[in-house]
Amino acid sequence: QQQVKQSPQSLIVQKGGISIINCAYENTAFDYFPWYQQFPGKGPALLIAIRPDVSEKKEGRFTISFNKSAKQFSLHIMDSQPGDSATYFCAASSGRGGGNKLTFGTGTQLKVEL
């Protein structure tokens, strides 16, 4: 059972535009929602994360919007650059001691064109 749904599967944005990736979850026990960026041949790297007591978090050009009642969260990349071209994964976890199990979305391949 997939617990985190991610869309779109792929996205093409012009340089300077806004990239928006959406995720929805089912498990109300999730209490941590990170986004990972992965370049080809590399491991995922933590980009930004949010907890459900906050509706929005911004770090530079990256913003997470979180809607607890709708069980949805999204990543906005402002002023998208060609260097942002990568695969983006949303994720969710609920851990209480003993390590934290991440459930990933299916991923979005972002291409930023000149």
Partner 1 sequence: DTEVTQTPKHLVMGMTNKKSLKCEQHMGHRAMYWYKQKAKKPPELMFVYSYEKLSINESVPSRFSPECPNSSLLNLHLHALQPEDSALYLCASSQAGGLANYGYTFGSGTRLTVV
Q: Can you tell me whether residue 40 is helix, strand or coil?
A: coil
| Tokens read off for 17 | 């535009």
Q: Tell me the sheet residues that pair with 32.
A: 93
The number of CA neighbours under 13 Å toward the Cβ of 57 is 17
Q: Tell me the sheet residues that pair with 14.
A: 113
- Span 15-34, contacts to partner 1 by CB under 8 A: 31-32, 34
Q: How far is it, in rounded angstroms, from Cα 39 to Cα 69? A: 32
Find the binder of partner 1 among 8, 60, 82, 95 (CB under 8 A): 95
> Which CB atom, from 13 or from 92, has the smaller least distance to partner 1?
92
Find the binder of partner 1 among 1, 70, 83, 98 (CB under 8 A): 98
Is 84 an interacting residue with respect to partner 1 (CB under 8 A)?
no
Where on the chain is the footprint of partner 1 (CB under 8 A)?
Answer: 31-32, 34, 36, 41-46, 49, 51, 87, 89, 93, 95-102, 104-107, 109
